[in-house]
């Protein structure tokens, strides 16, 4: 019973307090505690807004306001269901991961896709307006998660179902293959594939720095949006931010970044030479 409740809590991003109330009512909190995630660690508080790169700071502020504003048909705002900031801080450094929301497909997704699914299900906003909100809300959630350890697949203090982790590992392997084979020319001529400092921008440092302001693109970008833009700029067309190839690439990059401190909004090598 506890296993099934925890499984649904993970896939539906059930707020931690509600999950604990359900388990306590059934006398199952001890079982749940035995499934505590070994990968999650508390990090320092996020940097003060005043110290953030200006474009990133404005996007975070926009997301903070949007998180507390209702755009939904039922009048609910994000904050009405997600009151626990400690729980919220674990999200950004855990994606990509398996999430099922309101009967959405069972597969590995990025955080932007999950936010987009939520807005699509609960609002009547235009596609362009939803995307703007996704970018802002993701920046805010990412800022809340600054300082956490990058732990792909683990967005709560309980371990996810093994089948979800298996799906994530398959995405990692697809992303690894895509980087080393299909994209070997565009990627590896400038980027080292493993955890080594050599190269223009080591791949293992990518995940921990996004979302961030990309000077050449003149906007704040998530990792997925950056990958699409960056690949197109280097002659690789046909990628979409929520397409499987980009999600797989993101999963592989997150695997390389595992164990790092998450520092969104941080330009690589102190600059924006992307």
Residues in contact with 197: Cβ distance below 8 Å, sequence separation at least 6, in sequence order: none
DSSP 199: S
Sign of the alpha-carbon dihedral angle for 253, 254, 255, 257: positive
Average pLDDT, stretch 246-273?
Answer: 84
Residue 131's pLDDT is: 93
pLDDT computed for residue 192 by the predictor: 65
Eight-class DSSP state of 269? G
| Per-residue confidence band for 156, with pLDDT thresholds at 50, 70 and 90 | confident
Average pLDDT over every residue of 37-48: 67
Q: DSSP states of 135-169 as a string?
A: HHHHHHHHHHTTT-B--TT--SSBPPPHHHHHHHH
Which one, of 106, 82, 111, 107, lies nearest residue 95 by Cα? Answer: 111
Cβ distance 150 to 257 under 8 Å? Answer: yes
The pLDDT value recorded for residue 274 is 59
Contacts for 100-104: CB closer than 8 Å, 24+ residues apart: 100/11, 100/12, 101/11, 101/12, 101/13
Q: Would the pLDDT of 270 be above 50?
A: no
Inform me whether the pLDDT recorded for 271 exceeds 50. no
Give residue for tokens 């732990």: 151
Q: How would residue 37 be classed by pLDDT, with cut points 50, 70 and 90?
A: low
Report pLDDT for 237.
Answer: 72
Mean pLDDT of 247-251: 95
What is the tens place of the pLDDT at every residue in 64-112? 999 999 998 889 899 998 988 888 999 999 999 998 776 778 899 999 9
pLDDT of residue 74: 87
Is residue 216 exposed (0-12), middle (13-18) or buried (19+ Cβ within 10 Å)?
exposed
- Phi, psi of 36, deg, nearest 5: -60, 140
User: pLDDT, tens digit, for every residue of 7-27?
Assistant: 555 455 555 445 444 444 544
Please tell me which residue, 133 or 188, carries the higher pLDDT value.
133
Inform me whether the pLDDT recorded for 154 exceeds 70.
Answer: yes
**pTM (2 d.p.):** 0.81
**pLDDT in the model for residue 124:** 92
Average pLDDT taken over every residue of the chain: 81
Measured CA to CA, the distance from residue 162 to residue 15 in angstroms comes to 20
pLDDT at 204: 84
Is residue 200 classed as helix, strand or coil in its secondary structure? Answer: coil
Q: Phi, psi at residue 202, to the nearest 5°? A: -55, 135
Q: How far is the C-alpha of 144 from the C-alpha of 162, rounded, in Å?
A: 27
For 242-257, letters b (16+ CB in 10 Å) and e give eeebbbbbbbbbbbbb
Task: Name the CA dihedral angle for 268, 190, 172, 101, rounded to a multiple of 10 degrees.
Answer: 50
Q: Domains in the chain, please, with CATH?
A: 2-144 (1.10.760.10), 162-270 (1.10.760.10)
pLDDT at residue 205, rounded to an integer: 83
């Amino acid at each position: 019973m506890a296993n099934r409740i925890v499984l649904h809590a993970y896939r539906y991003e059930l707020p931690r307090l509600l999950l604990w109330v359900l388990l306590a009512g059934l006398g199952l909190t001890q079982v749940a505690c035995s499934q505590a995630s070994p990968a999650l660690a508390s990090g320092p508080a996020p940097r003060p807004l005043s110290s953030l790169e200006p474009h990133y700071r404005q996007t975070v502020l926009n997301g903070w306001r949007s998180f507390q504003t209702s755009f939904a048909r039922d009048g609910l705002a994000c904050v009405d269901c997600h009151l626990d900031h400690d729980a919220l801080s674990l999200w950004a450094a855990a994606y990509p991961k398996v999430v099922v929301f309101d009967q959405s497909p069972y597969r590995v997704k990025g955080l932007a896709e999950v936010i987009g699914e939520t807005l699509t299900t609960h609002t009547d906003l235009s596609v362009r307006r939803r995307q703007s909100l996704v970018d802002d809300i993701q920046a805010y959630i990412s800022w809340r998660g600054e300082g956490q350890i990058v732990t792909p697949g683990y967005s709560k203090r309980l371990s996810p179902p093994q089948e979800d982790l298996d799906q994530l590992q398959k995405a990692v392997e697809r992303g690894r293959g895509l980087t080393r084979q299909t994209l070997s020319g565009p990627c590896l001529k400038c980027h080292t594939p493993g955890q080594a400092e050599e190269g223009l921008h080591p791949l293992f440092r990518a995940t921990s720095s996004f979302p961030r302001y990309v000077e050449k693109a003149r906007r704040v970008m998530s990792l997925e949006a950056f990958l699409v833009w960056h690949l197109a700029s280097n002659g690789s067309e046909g990628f979409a931010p929520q397409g499987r190839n980009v999600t797989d690439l993101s999963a592989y990059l997150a695997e390389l970044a595992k164990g790092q401190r998450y520092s969104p909004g941080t330009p690589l090598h102190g600059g924006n030479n992307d």
